[in-house]
Each structure stands twice: as C-alpha cells, then as structure tokens.
Copies of this chain bind each other. A is one copy, B any other.
C-alpha cells in the first residue's frame, strides 16, 4: 500500500497507525466491539476518519489486525517459555506462568481477550483467524504430555484431554480475573491450578 515518499512519510504513517491501534485496543476493551465507535477511536487517536479508513479497510479489519498481533505476540511468548525447562511438569508450569504478564497488564487487556473470544463466536473471519492458533497450542500441549507419559514422568492418560483441561483451566482463570481482578492473585492461582492437575497425573513414587 505504501509507496516510497521518503522515510519521514513512512514514519508518520506508521505513527498514525500505531495511534489508531492503541486507541482501538483501549476502546474495544472498555466498551466492546460494537459499542466502540470508529468516531470515538479516531477522536482518541487524535486523527480524522479519513485517516482511519486510509489505514484500515473497515472496523472489522482493524479488529482482525489487533487479534493477529495479539496471537503473534502470544506465539513468541509460548515458544520462548517452552525452552529451558528440565522436566515436562515444570515446563507446563512455566507455560502456565505465562498468563502472568496477561494478568498483570492492568490497562485492561483481559476484557479485550474476552472480546476476541466473543467476536470469534459470531464473526466467521475472526473465528477462522483464531481456530488455527488454538489448535496449534492444543497440539503442542498434547505432544508435551505425550512426552511426559512416554518418559515415565506422568501416568498414562489421553494426552489431548489433558491438554484441553490445562488450556481450559488457564482460560477459566483469565475469565475470573477479568470479572473480579482483585479477588485473588490470579497469576499465582493459575500456577497452583496447573500444579494440581500435573500432580494428579504424576506417577506416585511407591
């Protein structure tokens, strides 16, 4: 889309884009996708509607952009967290700790996560963009569990079910954290929860 018009133009353009995404993230999480109006986002970003539609084809396109950025970021975090864990169990717990940064981001990323989920249920495009990464994560978890089972660390179990339970636990903790952030130290509680499940699966050393 961007032709060469000098570096400063590009910088200006990207700066504008960033202003939009920042404002949109804020608005979407605070008011939800539908209630957050393009006009409001533009006002927050300090730009005009024309500028908005110069950078994004539609409101939905912007939302998808945010979603993809979020998923990409998530990917990076997961792959870096997978390394450097001596045992499978500790690896799982380390991954669970990843929810930490999400919980800690006090600027309201939690509602945005829920908004992503909610839109995914209704908007086929959003769903398509989400289902793939979701399956990927599930598969990775299952593979890890499989390893744990085959190396004797864990009891035999249906690895996919365990993966779904672990992911479910993490999601459920996010849900609760979004709903009542100050009721508990949700990052810590999530770690504990994962530990419980792993513990239930660990071989009991006679």
Q: Using Cβ atoms and an 8 Å threshold, which residues of chain B touch A173?
A: 164-165, 168, 172
A193 B179 Cβ-Cβ under 8 A: no
Name the one of B114, B170, B184, B198 contacting A164, with C-beta atoms under 8 angstroms. Answer: B184
Interface with B: A11-19, A27-35, A58-66, A76-84, which one? A27-35
In the complex, A114 Cα to B122 Cα: how many Å?
11
Chain multiplicity (copies): 4
- Of A111, A117, A172, A200, chain B has the most CB atoms within 10 Å of the CB of A172
Contacting residues, chain B, for A35 (C-beta < 8 A): 34, 122
Known: A122-B31, A165-B189, A189-B161. A134 touches B175 (CB 8 A): no
Q: Contact: B164 with A193, CB < 8 Å?
A: yes
Which residues on the B side are within 8 Å of A179 (C-beta)? 117, 120-121, 127, 130-131, 134
Q: A162–B118 contact, CB under 8 A? A: no
Could you tell me if B169 and A169 are in contact, using CB atoms closer than 8 angstroms?
Answer: yes
Note all chain B residues with C-beta closer than 8 A to A121.
111, 114, 178-179
Residues of chain A from 166 to 206 with CB closer than 8 A to chain B in the complex: 167-173, 175-176, 178-180, 184, 189-190, 192-193, 195-201, 204
Q: Contact mask A116-129 → B, CB, 8 Å, 1/0?
A: 01101110000100
Q: What CA separation (Å) do A169 and B96 show in the bound complex?
A: 13
User: Is the CB of A146 closer than 8 A to any CB of chain B?
Assistant: no
- The interface residues of chain B lying within 8 Å CB-to-CB of A30 are 122
Residues of A within 8 A of B (CB): 30-35, 111, 114-115, 117-118, 120-122, 127, 130-131, 134, 158, 160-162, 164-165, 167-173, 175-176, 178-180, 184, 189-190, 192-193, 195-201, 204
